[in-house]
Amino acid sequence: MNEPAGIAASPEAAAESEVSGDAVSPAPHGPVTLRTVLHNLREWWTVHVIGQIDQSEVTERRREEGALSEHYLFMTAMSGGIAILGLLLSSPAVVIGAMLLSPLMSPIMGLGFALAIGDWNWLKQSVRTLMIGSVMAVLLCALLVFMSPIQTITTEIAARTRPNLFDLFVALFSALAGAYAMIRGREGAIVGVAIATALMPPLAVIGFGLATSNWTVFSGALLLYVTNLLTIALTAFAMAKLYGFRSALSKGQTKAQNFGVVAVFVALAVPLFFSLQQIAWETNAQRVVSDAIRERFERPAQLDALEIDFASAPLAVSAIVFTPVIRPDAESEITRALSNRLKRPVALTLTQTQTETGAGAAQRAQLSATREQEAAAASARVQALTTRLSLAAGVPESSVLIDRNRRRALVRAKRLDGASLAAYRTLEQRIAATEPEWTIELIPPTGALPATIGFGDDGPSEQGAQALAVVRWAAQRLDRPVVLTGDREQGEQAAALLREQGVTVELRPELGTLRVAWGDEG
């Protein structure tokens, strides 16, 4: 039998093949290079990965699911409502429940896919759907917060006002999982939760900041939302490009598009990196300070209440040490050591308390542990109060004055657009209600007093009583006199009420409604 052309081989070649055991493998044509490997890998990816995906079906499904619909609006509203309640209650479980309902994944993924294939109509549709849903969620959350008796900044809310690089990575990995599942046709509720993790809670916190006129909270949550939104959309764009979704753009336009995506990622990552670096430095500094103090005292010495004020200059550190042997030079030695290790000036206040040894030392150690727990809890509570006051006043935490011994907290508020004196008084009352053992004083910026003070037959009307309360509070906080102008009898009644509270009042009788204004200082 004759063999087909191209298959016949010499007996010597056949024998050699049998000996080598590789009768079906072609002989190499040259050395294997990196270029060859990359070419083969690219060919495999094109045939066995991209070739297995129905791009038109994936694109059409993303287009339909990202459209504005009744289902999308309703589920977004329900998700936002549950999220803000979970944040107010500081309940992670409730917040997770909100993520299970959130439909925000579809328009954001649609945004990334539309950008990848250059479909500008789809891009505009996705932006419109996302903006309408986001604004609706923010307004609903703001309404719920406005009507809620609880308007305290919880730890869950405060955690979403200081974005860092880790938040960007959460959004990045969520988007990678979501885009992969959608392209491969395996999307589901779990992927939706991953996307909602990065978007729905920040939206709810934006609504909280809007309702409470707290622009520090509002701007911090808005920055986190925009960061996560752009990260997810651009990651979806990159995944679509990786899986070969076709684009109508020219080669030059594609290069410009890719450069823009990289530039946005870098612009987001740089400030978030510095924020994360500061948080990491503070955590490391806490450990360094604790170790430096313990190194100077032998066992069974115990380190008690340790507090660090990172906003102060120099860095303020205070601690209590229970030790059998008092070391007079310990404070100066530890201060020098901390300054060298932290590369910052340090002001240390170290209190040494001498303890007995033996059984008494064990009792002291137990007492010290109990006190340390109590001090840590008190310190955490003071820190939380400081954070709430700084956010309410719109100023850094370093501007909040805390007197632990007298349990008094004072902060001078930054001027907020549209905020009246009554609004500042309400902010102070809300924070004071959560700390009944503390005296809270929020000093407002000088603003206009209530225009008039209404009176009825039996004295100040309800409006008049409220106006007098605002006048009294503002005059006390700003330490300024007021002038009452109008009906003599009404003026005398109002002046008497204000003077009882220590307010300096000048009365100028004349015909007409009783009015109030600031008097001359000094």
- Transcribe 458-520 into DSSP letters: TEE-HHHHHHHHHHHHHHHHHT--EEEEE-HHHHHHHHHHHHHTT--EEEEE-SSS-EEEE--
Tally the residues of the chain: 522
CA-wise closest residue to 293 among 242, 330, 256: 330
Q: Check: CB of residue 505 under 8 Å from CB of residue 499.
A: yes
Structure tokens at 339: 């300054």
Half-sphere exposure in the Cβ direction for 270 (13 Å, CA): 5
Strand 505-509 and strand 459-460: the pairing is unpaired
Q: How far apart are CA 99 and CA 197, in angstroms?
A: 6
Task: Report the side by side order of strands in the sheet with 482-486.
Answer: 505-509, 482-486, 515-518
Half-sphere exposure in the Cβ direction for 267 (13 Å, CA): 12
Q: How far apart are CA 206 and CA 223, in angstroms?
A: 10
- Transcribe 206-218 into DSSP letters: HHHHHHTT-HHHH
Residuewise pLDDT in 10s, the chain (522 residues)? 444 434 344 444 444 444 444 444 444 455 668 777 776 777 776 666 666 677 777 788 878 877 888 988 999 999 999 999 999 988 888 887 777 777 887 888 888 888 888 788 888 888 899 999 999 999 999 999 999 888 888 888 888 887 777 777 888 888 888 788 878 766 554 555 555 566 888 999 999 999 998 888 898 888 888 888 888 888 888 888 888 776 665 666 666 666 666 776 677 667 666 666 766 777 788 888 888 888 877 777 777 777 887 767 788 888 888 877 787 888 888 888 888 888 888 888 888 777 665 445 555 556 666 767 777 777 888 888 888 888 888 888 888 888 877 888 888 888 877 788 888 888 888 888 888 888 888 889 888 888 888 888 788 888 888 889 999 988 888 888 989 998 888 888 888 888 888 888 888 888 888 888 888 765
